[in-house]
Structure formats: structure tokens, C-alpha cells
Amino acid sequence: MKLNELSDNKGARKERMRVGRGIGSGKGKTGGRGVKGQKSRSGVSGIRAYEGGQMPLYMRLPKRGFKKPNRLAYVEINIGRLQSAIDAGKIDAGKKIDAGMLVEAGVIRRAKNGLRLLGTGELKAKIDIEVAHASAGAKAAVEKAGGAVSIKGGE
């Protein structure tokens, strides 16, 4: 058997029904859409949210909160992730760690508006890290290991 002789089993692939191609085809004239009315017309997609003139559910329910349109996006990184990167030799604990260094090392994909250091995991190495924001637990863990956290920009 050769690659050019390979084919599907009979009936494995079903051809799509071409609607509106003559009454004799079985799917002609109205094309399986019944007769008249809004649903038989083309371009009716938002009909599912329409409730026949009644106030739609999404408008009846109360709205809460506010989404700030120009909110800064931070890259969250846990101290456990930093420790695993140090153990793997991706980053040097002796140098000052910042967002640019982590991007170069491949620990994070992009810097966005800065780093947010979170306290999940365990840190054994003494590091000097520059972040936009650090949680209290993360700060305590870095200082416990003998390192320092400097907050620059951000909040």
C-alpha cells in the first residue's frame, strides 16, 4: 500500500447538504427554514437575547461594580516560581532581579506594566528584586531569606 492509495472508509465523510437548489433536491424553495417570519430571513443572529419586546433578563438584573478602563495590568509571579528558576540556573540570584531580566530568562513572557510578587511557595535564595507591587507575605519571605524587595512604579 502506498500513501496515495490511502482513503477513508465508505460513508466516513458525509457531504454537506446544499440548500436552496431546486424543489427536487428535498431542501429547495424555503431551504429547510419553514415559511416566512423573522427566523426564515438571513442575518438574524441576535434573536436569542430578544424577548419579544419584554425587558430582557440581562437588563432586568442589577449591575454591580465598576471596571476601570485604563487599569494597569501586572504580571503575577510567586516566590516559589522564582526559586525554581534560580535552581534551574535561568536567573542569577546575585544580580538585581527585575521584569526585563525575567523576560530574557524566559521565566515570564512579557513585562506588561510591571511585576506583582506573591507569596506562594518557598524561597531559600537571597535575592534583591524590583517590583511594582509585593504582597505582605512575599515581602516577609524575601526578607526572611536575607533579600530585599524594592517597589518601583505601579501602586
Residue ranges of the chain with per-residue pLDDT less than 70 = 45-46, 154-155
**Domain layout of the chain by residue ranges:** 75-151
**Could you tell me where the beta strands, DSSP code E, fall in 31-127?**
75-78, 96-97, 115-118
Give the model's pLDDT for residue 154.
Answer: 56
pLDDT of residue 46: 67
Nearest one of 151, 139, 74 to 113, comparing CA atoms? 74
Q: Which CATH class is domain 75-151?
A: alpha beta
Instruction: State the SS3 of 60-85.
Output: HCCCCCCCCCCCCCCEEEEHHHHHHH
Residue 82 and residue 97 in contact, taking contact as beta carbons nearer than 8 Å: yes
pLDDT of residue 51: 85
Predicted confidence at residue 50, as pLDDT, reads 82
